[in-house]
Structure 1
């Protein structure tokens, strides 16, 4: 749910710039996961609209070349990938928690299901059905992103199989809800709900007829309604130029390198996704843990920024 539309923030206005800036676009499924988490926590945030396809001239200066959406910015600290973004939101804003049932590890691991196999099934059903209506520029962009053909004709032929796959995925959600619980973890919403919900939201918004895959199950349909009713917190539009100015005027937070990475501390490394959008991002290793790595970059127009990536799904090379 959106806040009432207001003009994007400019630096000379008497507004308090939100601390959290989310670089996204409205129909981005992975952004919806983060927006639901912002809603669960009741947070105020700035919505920085970015293009759906390249070029993204006001995003890549922040990230060093990383082009996937969403990206979260807090000052001069830049967080890439929804898996790390929600983890950082929980670290900075722990109450209310994204893990009301205590299953922190399991809820985060759930993303490996929803972000990969469930997401790919949703993509095939959506774009197989849309097929000839998909913008050729979008197809070309996604082929460059993935490094393989974005073949909507092949997706169309696979619709029967992929719809069956989707129904099987949705049946798992229904099974979890079968005891009458309101949310996947119990009485309160959490990250597990945001993870499982966003693909169904994606289907409903991109190709509504496919919604029958989940709306014919009352348990799942009612749960989708409850998650949607959470909203997105308090959203305010922020211009991309204003977001760049925030980074320019800020200083990155402190970081610590894990002992196991001591040999790379202060040295130039590259970080790249291991599935798609594999463009390597170079910088100086300044932070790491079991769950993330952080690299410092110097940008002529922005000064110093620190870009953070999750460990899972990313390759770090010295």
Structure 2
């Protein structure tokens, strides 16, 4: 099986979610460190312009978004599952809802504490090309009470859920734990210690530390040039886990489609439909230098339309 290649940057909290999933599974992987914002000249041809991080590469198969990366890791490396038996639906749904609900409020709390340290060019990029809002401290300050209230309310049910068991779905960590944990990790790693008291995090610290202790598996550095060459020299794997006519909207294999995130970083990616389900869509792209690629996206959170 080709190496697992993760394109990521250190302070990306969604990358931390995948790094920890790799650690939970005890996997060796290749680490390609990318910039926190475009341009990424050797990654963009692999993703068709998709600009969010992380991206998982397996040969010439490119997995975009953590909600397709984690299921792919579990399919390709089923040991130490991220989805305890019977839990995949609740784990994926809970993780998606948590991240959608809390992403902007968590940023609001974060910039309240460290906003003056965020580079102006990063703020400009997030406003113009990613989130569509100004995340500077002055701009977000008026909403801080609402953001704080939203985070505390979510943490309230989390404390209840973890009151009698070590992880959200029982005795072992799951994809749901990683989705929830990564947002709290963003705050605890970057904010002063008083954030714990402000948010009522003390009862959650044992759970938090159990996940933090998982680590990141065994990464080995790889250059963007090396990763690009792997894609160029590889062929996409046959899609055997999805039916070619399984698209819930009636799209058929072979038709041109456009895939676009429905929330932020709304860069459309064009390709030819290979296979789809109500969980995942796979499209084929041919890049003049990288060659033939299969791009994998989760269905939830993305618009898939005939081009």
Q: Which category of TM-score, normalised to the shorter sequence, fits these structures?
A: over 0.9
| TM-score normalised according to structure 1 size | 0.89
Residue 38 of structure 2 is matched in structure 1 by: 54
1:265 to 242, 253, 267: 253
Residue 13 of structure 1 is matched in structure 2 by: none
The change in CA–CA distance for 1:265 and 1:145 in structure 2 (over 3 A counts) is: same
Q: CA offset at residue 47 of structure 1? A: 1.1
For 2:197 and 2:72, how far apart are their aligned partners in 1? 33
Residue 295 of structure 2 is matched in structure 1 by: 307
SS in 2 for 1:72: strand
204-213 or 62-71: bigger deviation: 204-213
Matches within 5 A, 1:93-108: 93-100=77-84, 102-108=86-92
Residue 3 of structure 1 is matched in structure 2 by: none
Matches within 5 A, 1:49-198: 49-100=33-84, 102-143=86-127, 144-179=129-164, 181-198=165-182
SS in 2 for 1:131: helix
1:132-181 alpha-carbon deviations (Å, 9 max, x no partner): 332110011111212343343231222233222212211221111112x2
258-267 or 183-192: bigger deviation: 258-267
Matches within 5 A, 1:284-295: 284-295=272-283
Residue 222 of structure 1 is matched in structure 2 by: 206
> Runs of 5+ in structure 1 lacking a partner?
1-16
264-273 or 302-311: bigger deviation: 264-273
SS in 1 for 2:74: helix
238-247 or 131-140: bigger deviation: 131-140
Residue 281 of structure 1 is matched in structure 2 by: 269
Residue 226 of structure 2 is matched in structure 1 by: 242
The change in CA–CA distance for 1:241 and 1:183 in structure 2 (over 3 A counts) is: same
263-272 or 252-261: bigger deviation: 252-261
SS in 1 for 2:92: helix
For 1:70 and 1:47, how far apart are their aligned partners in 2? 11
**Contact in 1 for aligned 2:151/2:199 (Cα 8 Å):** no
**Contact in 2 for aligned 1:215/1:221 (Cα 8 Å):** no
Quote the RMSD (CA, aligned, Å): 1.9
> Runs of 5+ in structure 2 lacking a partner?
none
The change in CA–CA distance for 1:147 and 1:162 in structure 2 (over 3 A counts) is: closer
1:196-250 alpha-carbon deviations (Å, 9 max, x no partner): 1001110112223453157854430111111100111111111111110110111
1:41-89 alpha-carbon deviations (Å, 9 max, x no partner): 1111111101001111121010010010010000000000001100111
1:25 to 9, 22, 47: 9
Aligned residues: 301
For 1:70 and 1:210, how far apart are their aligned partners in 2? 30
SS in 2 for 1:230: coil
Q: CA offset at residue 263 of structure 1? A: 4.8
**Contact in 2 for aligned 1:24/1:47 (Cα 8 Å):** yes
For 1:131 and 1:72, how far apart are their aligned partners in 2? 30
For 1:123 and 1:101, how far apart are their aligned partners in 2? 34
